[in-house]
Amino acid sequence: MMGVLDGVLMELQDCALPLLKDVIATDKEEIAFKDLDVAILVGSMPRRDGMERKDLLKANVKIFKCQGAALDKYAKKSVKVIVVGNPANTNCLTASKSAPSIPKENFSCLTRLDHNRAKAQIALKLGVISDDVKNVIIWGNHSSTQYPDVNHAKVKLQGKEVGVYEALKDDSWLKGEFITTVQQRGAAVIKARKLSSAMSAAKAICDHVRDIWFGTPEGEFVSMGIISDGNSYGIPDDLLYSFPVTIKDKTWKVVEGLPINDFSREKMDLTAKELAEEKETAFEFLASA
C-alpha cells in the first residue's frame, strides 16, 4: 500500500494547504507513532459479505492491539487518540487496554458523524441550517443500536431557542423514522454510492478533534465515545460508550443531570448490552492475540 500512500501524499502537497508543513508517509510503527500529540486511527478491517460480527471483531482486535502497543511505546503520554475504524467503540477499548501507560480518558471514538447526521435531519425537517440545531445526543455504540436523542436538543427559530420536540410537534416521527434514519444512514450511503461515507466522516473527525483541542462553545455539548467509568446514567463501567460531553482544556466532562425518560432508558440500555457483548468477544481474542 505504500504506492497508494504516495498518491495521497502527492494530493496533499497539491492542495497547497496553508497550515500543512510536512507529511511523512511510512509503514513503520516506530516512525508513524513517534512523539504523537494526536493519533487518528482510521484504518480497520471492513466487514465483508457473509462475515460474522465475531470474525470482524477478531480481525480488528489484532490491528488495534498492535496500534495500542505502538502508542504505548512511541507516542507522548499526553497523546489524544481518536478511533474511527469500525467497530469503533470496541476497537477503541482494545487500543486503550493495549496502551496501559496512556490515561484511558485520552482515548475516544467517533460518534460525531452520527451526531452531525442527527443535527442535519432535524434542520432539514424544520427548514433551518444545521448550525441552528444544538445539543442532540448520540448514546452508546456506533452501530445500528445507537440512540439518537433530541429530548434535550434546542433549535433556533425566529431568533428564539426552543426545544426540538416543541418546535416539531411530531412525536411519532421523532420516536420512529428520525431514529431509524440516523441509525441506518451509513448503510443508506453505501447503498446509494456503493462506497461508505467519506467526506462526511472526514468532516466529523475534524469537528471531533477541533473540539478536543479548542473546547466546546459555552452552553453546547457534543457526542463522543469515551470510557464509561463513574458515569451517572447507569451505564456499566469499562465500556467505550458515547455520551454528551463538554470539553475544556483538552479534557472532556460528561454532561450530568439530564432527565432520562423510560423510552430513552430502554434504548440506552439496549446499546450498552450490545457493547458489553462485543467487549466480551473482543477480550477473548485479546487474551489469545
Binding site residues for NAD(+), as ranges? 60, 84-86
DSSP category for residue 235: P
Map grid coordinates 436538543 to a residue: 153
Q: Which of 115, 142, 152, 208 is catalytic?
A: 142
Distance CA 271, CA 268 (A): 6
CA proximity to 136, closest of 114, 156, 113, 153? 153
CA proximity to 183, closest of 271, 55, 108? 271
Tell me if residue 227 falls in helix, strand or coil: strand
Distance CA 82, CA 242 (A): 13
Amino acid at 267: K
Binding site residues for substrate, as ranges? 47, 53, 86, 117
Answer yes or no: are the C-beta atoms of 240 and 90 closer than 8 Å.
yes
Whole-number CA gyration radius for the chain: 19
Q: Does the annotation count 115 as an active-site position? A: no
Binding site residues, as ranges? 47, 53, 60, 84-86, 117
Distance CA 198, CA 89 (A): 19
Distance CA 121, CA 4 (A): 35
List, by residue number, the catalytic residues: 142
